[in-house]
Amino acid sequence: MMIKYTEQNIINKNISVIGAGISGIGAASLANYLGAKVILIDENKKLKIEKNINLSGVKLYLGNYPNKIMTSQLIIISPGVDYYNNKHIQKLTEKNIPIISEIEFASWFTKSKIIAITGSNGKSTVVKLLFNILKRKYKNTFLGGNIGISFCENVLDEIKNKKNKILHLLEISSFQLEKIVHFNPHISCILNISKDHLERYNNYKEYYETKFKIFNKKGTNIIFYNQGNRILNKEYNHLNNSISFTDKYNFYIKNKKIYNAKTKKNIIDLNKVNLIGKHNYENILAALNIALKVNIKEHDIVSEIYKFKPLNHRMEIVNINNAPLIINDSKATNIKSTICAVKSFNKKILLILGGFTESKIEKNILLKIINIKNVISFVCYGQIGNSLHKIIKNYKKSKYINDFKEAVVFSLQDSSSKEIIMFSPGFKSFDQFKDYQERGNTFKKIINNYYN
């Protein structure tokens, strides 16, 4: 088992950080502050890094891997770097140089409690909702991980400013879990599992077993999981320190109301919350259970749930006068997420579907959307759009338009008989956009320009 560095023995160690995005810069900054000799590497020659005082003394290499990386005593790899298919990393592996994730590295230097959330869908919604709930009692709640602030950056803040009574709340992706060793949150949660990121993994099993790394079965900490998911139920239902957030252990749903399982009292009317759909009701149950476990009062939890608004690009209502109901769900980067979105409504839907993938279309999964009765027509766009259209047109009305803007405008013009226009693409954004945020913002801009 790899030995963890401490603040005492990391001094002057040769550490290489691969990937100079948010995670890599955070890891390099923390290692540098603790006294290590740090080099930061990124294959992008044109990458621009904002000046950061924490990187003073860090040697930066863009576009190439320096020979001195082979003398590293520790490698920290960013989640965006494909560990499995990088020839440089394979050489480091062959030389038995320890390779860990940024999440693992950060965890070595904090003794504070950690709550970590993963899953194929809904992670951002749950951590943002939990953050609003937790900070009512724990003022020093740090939100980080796969949500714009690295765990290392938060731990650096904790150390530099000598903060105490910290609670780290983390959104964790499968990529961030690939190279963990000792990382063991006090509370873990796996919201759901569906086929995603299969271009990175050899098969589905390898993907979900990577997710399982968030929880150490041999430890005494707790995991919350979704009992309704077959894979998760098989993995966790027999463990003493596992709790399903979808059974009647603490809370349960009946007739669109959430009840306290012990008092049988109705505590939340789901008709009055801002989150839509069964998947979001499960997200609320997860947040309820976790918050209760860290001693947040029930009425405080409920108050924040009622106030919570959907995240940008996740089932976001685009409010336009004299228009159909328009939903921006750009964050839906897999078909399972799109299915959940569509099933949130009973009204007629025109669905905008498409984007980028390196994988083959799974027709049986696509048919699950096609067979939803209230989805009456499709507009398919982008790199995967024509392939989608060729399948869908055999079952329902479908139109293929490669260009995103043209596809959206066509949808608006063709929407007279529709009650909802839903943009829930089901695929990644990399054909025409850098990420789902840019894609979602472009969608909203097109809508606004069309109606103004």
For residue 3, tell me if it sits in a domain: no
Same domain (yes/no): 434, 321: yes
Same domain (yes/no): 271, 149: yes
Q: What single DSSP character describes residue 312?
A: T
pTM of the model: 0.85
| Residue 78 structural domain | 14-97
Distance CA(35)–CA(28), nearest Å, equals 11
Same domain (yes/no): 303, 164: yes
Residue ending a domain, among 50, 79, 97, is: 97
> Which pLDDT value is given to residue 1?
59
> Which pLDDT value is given to residue 416?
66
Neighbours of 260 (CB within 10 A): 16
Distance CA(281)–CA(286), nearest Å, equals 9
Same domain (yes/no): 225, 191: yes
Same domain (yes/no): 284, 223: yes
For residue 9, tell me if it sits in a domain: no
For residue 75, tell me if it sits in a domain: yes
> Which pLDDT value is given to residue 37?
97
Please calculate the CA angle 196-278-335 and round it to the nearest 5 degrees. Answer: 25
Residue 8: partners with Cβ closer than 8 Å, 6 or more residues away:
none
For residue 7, tell me if it sits in a domain: no
Residue ending a domain, among 261, 281, 307, is: 307
Distance CA(423)–CA(411), nearest Å, equals 10
CATH number at residue 222: 3.40.1190.10
Same domain (yes/no): 255, 112: yes
> Which pLDDT value is given to residue 197?
58
Same domain (yes/no): 263, 411: no
Same domain (yes/no): 293, 424: no
SS percent in the chain: helix, strand, coil, step 5:
35, 20, 45
Q: What single DSSP character describes residue 361?
A: P
Whole-number mean pLDDT of the chain? 92
Residue 127: partners with Cβ closer than 8 Å, 6 or more residues away:
117, 143, 145, 147, 169, 170, 171
Residue ending a domain, among 307, 324, 341, is: 307
Distance CA(213)–CA(198), nearest Å, equals 17
For residue 323, tell me if it sits in a domain: yes
Cβ proximity of 98 and 14 under 8 Å: no
> Which pLDDT value is given to residue 200?
77
Show the low-confidence residues of the chain (pLDDT under 50).
none
Same domain (yes/no): 255, 361: no
Number of domains in the chain: 3
Same domain (yes/no): 298, 326: no
For residue 339, tell me if it sits in a domain: yes
> Which pLDDT value is given to residue 217?
83
CATH number at residue 430: 3.90.190.20
Same domain (yes/no): 424, 404: yes
For residue 192, tell me if it sits in a domain: yes
For residue 6, tell me if it sits in a domain: no
> Which pLDDT value is given to residue 201?
78
210-242 burial by CB neighbour count: b if 16+ within 10 A, else e?
bbbbbbbeeeebbbbbbbebebbbebbeeeeeb
Same domain (yes/no): 125, 92: no
Percent of the chain scoring above 70 in pLDDT: 97
Residues forming beta bridges with residue 254, ordered by sequence position = 257
- Give the residue among 440, 200, 408 at the shortest CA–CA distance from 332: 440
CATH number at residue 80: 3.40.50.720
